Amino acid sequence: MVRFCGFNDGNNNTATYSYLANSALVGHFAFATNGVARMTTAKTYDYLNRLTGISSQPGAAGLLPLAYSYAYNAANQRRKDTLADGSHWVYGNDSLEQVSVLTFQTVAIALRAKQIGNRAPAPHGKMFGDPFEAHGSFRSDPNT
């Protein structure tokens, strides 16, 4: 049995979603304005209820779909996020199993932050920085 839910904001903007069969996990979202689809999103999970993929299709013509997939290790930690273009984030953990190294890889470049929260030089003089200030508030430009 699949449960469907939805709402309308009173301005003809609607969102509907459905749960996966025999689960409390949402598997599908649909957003519309005046009955015209704006975006649909589907999520997939593994047998441990870990998110393994997200795929979103914009309603407008000419826009590319967004897709992400996730891989985990035996300790239930996310190790890799793969984007639609094949680029990916690889997570590394320290001896306490905390994320300590985050690497972004594409065919052309690789950026590496040696410690989460600290900026490290990247190839070609680019910087990869922490988007949060020391006290935890979000910073609009993480490279400042």
Q: What would the pLDDT profile of 47-61 be if each residue is shown by its tens digit?
A: 999 999 999 999 888
Q: Is residue 65 part of a domain?
A: yes
**Residue 45 domain-assigned?**
yes
pLDDT of residue 27: 92
Distance CA(54)–CA(32), nearest Å, equals 19
Strands 110-113, 120-121: parallel, antiparallel or unpaired by DSSP? unpaired
Do 65 and 113 belong together in one domain? Answer: no
Asked whether residue 10 falls in the same domain as residue 50, the answer is yes
- One domain for residues 17 and 55: yes
> Is the same domain home to 41 and 106?
no
In a domain? residue 80: no
Task: Indicate the pTM of the whole model.
Answer: 0.64
Other CB atoms within 10 Å distance of the CB of residue 85: 10
- Convert the pLDDT of each residue in 22-44 to its tens digit: 888 999 999 999 989 999 999 99
Looking at the structure of the chain, the number of domains it has is 2
Structural domain for 60, as ranges: 1-71
